[in-house]
Amino acid sequence: MPLSDLRKKDLYNQGYRLVGNHSAIKVCEWCKKSIRGQSFCYKQKFYGINSHQCVQMTPALHVCTHRCFFCWRDIGFTNPKWTGPVDNPKDIVDGCIKEHVKYLQGFGGSKKADKKKFSDALMPKHFAISLSGEPTFYAKLPELIEEIHKRKMTSFLVTNGTNPAMLKRLIKHQPTQLYITLPAPNEDIYKKICNPLIKGGWKKILQSLKLLNGFSCRKAVRLTLVKNENLCNAEDYAKIIKETSADFFEFKAYMWVGYSKKRCNIENMPRYEEIRDFAEKVAKLADLKVIDEKKESRVVLVGKNKIKLL
């Protein structure tokens, strides 16, 4: 179903720029802060991804199998199945870069902007395929990743894990880094906080985690932790983590921002110290260790060894 004019206007006012029939970009705050020389995303600290050269995008704005109550996005219009046309990967990459660069033009006249970073920002090097929706339901995702790499850019793919069929296809077309979200320690909590729109979602997530064995790219599992909801059951998380072949595990605090403020309370946002303590507990149970952190982002990285930056 195509987006209504009212919905398009609302997305535009939020900072989204639509590309084609089902894709979009949104310049994130860390990109803006990096251009101003203020700070940068934890992905830069952990993985070497320059925040000012990163395009935050999605090829599946209108499709998601979850309606997580803690999601900062507007989830009222997404559907679990694809509808409408399927755009060409080249057109999506061209359109995303065009809209991203166009959005940044205002920094050229800003006294707060670092001129070198602004110049570099107009030549993106990274695609974070994670903005909104579930990107693995874009049927030409393998070709999209190949198109990104053909242009000497890296690709960071974030998936909720409910489409293992696409992950099987991606084994032959691997992103630079693959993220799978682990939203809960068990199925009961998963159903409560993710409000899945499909049957068997939890089993699909566990299946996707097992598929990590087939990937040689860098692999990460992300835990978005909501106080009084899924910030619990360390033993269950550790058991799942020990059975995966991921290189890294991100313990990230839920942030009380965006549309999630309509569904959650500020009390649901954990303090950094709570995230750190929980990460240390799970890491110990899973025979891992804390290897990095970014306090202001309330995120802790767990793994076996310090990461080799890109």
Average pLDDT over residues 251-280: 94
Residue 310 has pLDDT above 80, yes or no: no
Q: Is residue 300 part of a domain?
A: no
Q: Which pLDDT belongs to residue 49?
A: 92
CA distance 136 to 48: 24
Q: Is residue 115 part of a domain?
A: yes
Q: Is residue 45 part of a domain?
A: yes
CATH number reported for the structural domain that contains residue 16 in this entry? 3.20.20.70
Residue 197 has pLDDT above 80, yes or no: yes
Distances (CA, A) of 111 to 47, 108, 118, 124, 207: 29, 8, 11, 22, 50
CA distance 77 to 250: 28
CA distance 76 to 64: 10
Q: Is residue 266 part of a domain?
A: no
Residue 1 has pLDDT above 60, yes or no: no
pLDDT digits (tens, 9 = 90+) for 31-51: 999 999 999 999 999 999 999
Q: Is residue 47 part of a domain?
A: yes
pLDDT digits (tens, 9 = 90+) for 71-115: 888 887 789 999 999 999 999 999 999 999 999 999 999 999 999
Average pLDDT over residues 61-65: 95
C-alpha 19, offset from chain centre: 19
Q: Is residue 285 part of a domain?
A: no
Q: Which domain holds residue 172?
A: 5-223
Q: Which pLDDT belongs to residue 305?
A: 78
* Structural domain total, the chain: 1
Q: Is residue 247 part of a domain?
A: no
